[in-house]
Structure 1
Amino acid sequence: RISHELRTPLTIMTGFVSTLLTHDAEFGPDDRKAMLERTRAAIGRLSALIDELLTAASFEAGMAEAVVIDVDVAPILEAIKAEAVDPERVRVNCPPGVHARADPKLLKQALHLLVDNAMKYGGNAELTVRPGEITVRDHGPGVPSELGDRVFDRFVRGTTSKPGMGLGLPLVRSLCAAMDATVGLESPADGGACFRIRFSS
């Protein structure tokens, strides 16, 4: 599965670059732009996959260490929205002045992974901040009841119909643990999935 996830963006990049090199004169500016944008998206996906693998390996080897400070979460959430593949599909509910005890870099990476997961399976992501916690909610099919907290185990996925290696949620759990925070899964009555990060006081 890992080799497949790494090869897929490489195949996309190779295909478009080869097409442009071989048949460039046959395409107009709009077609070339579309292929280059698809190539850039594939590069971004490959980079994210590599980052996930390297981060997971660092934590497993005991090489990564969190620096927990008092963090203003609003700028982090706004950055996550701005950097999303489609920012219009990300909603942020964050009152001003809310802080959390966290490592800013690890918190951003954990939320990035949760937002990416929500958009992949639910179409949209809603981030809500309350004192001591952040939730990331989607309105997709939800997580099968038989999986439960096993979604935080490596290589376990709710569905194989979407791309992924099953590393995102386990990495979120590792990132939260490093910050002395916890993450849990909830299944709202009206559908979808909700991941709740709770911070230490």
Structure 2
Amino acid sequence: MKIHKEGHRSIAIAIIIFAIINLVTLFFISAYSPLISWLIFVVTFCLLLFIFSFFRIPRRAHTIGEDSLVAPCDGTVVVIEEVQPDEYFKDKRIQLSIFMSPLNVHVNRNPVTGEVVYSQYHPGKYLVAWHPKSSTDNERHSVVYRAGGKEVLVKQIAGALAKRIVNYLKPGDKVEQGSEMGFIKFGSRVDLLLPLDTKIDVQINQKVKGGVTVLGKW
């Protein structure tokens, strides 16, 4: 397991804060109240482990298939419905949304092999990720892939805790299925807008793994 590059600064800051808090506790509290001192150590150590865990990149064998659409992130499927898109597409699409809790791996991956034809950042609000309007009102970054004559839009959406969306793609990029597209820090959601003839292979409340779980085929 590796640590994602987006976490290096956050982890360094967390280690410094952990050290300062526990040094202060050691010199000013431990002699008078060792129980409180140990409690502070345990709590801060658990928080430090959480920060390390959040930026983890586990070893995985990624799914590769020209006719397969793989999950761009870890999480839980919370929406599968037909919608009228508010961006890029004019025709109706299937929206498939994946909620990412703070405990999930937060690396975002390309769901298909193809060409990036659209990449756009949108500032916005920070509604909770499961809010119905988070898809259109929250801070987000949208990418459209063209693969085998089909187009897929993937939308990284900030949540109440997610304050930074990172996206590495620009129009014209050629990408491989399963390679990194970006990262969202601390709790979020990813929406996919798919052609109506996509055969969906997952269900509501199903757990999925980024780069591994096949969401659908065409």
Larger strand percent: 2
Q: Which has the higher Rg, Structure 1 or Structure 2?
A: 2
Which structure has more helix as a fraction of its residues? 1
With the length of structure 1 as denominator, give the TM-score of the two structures: 0.37
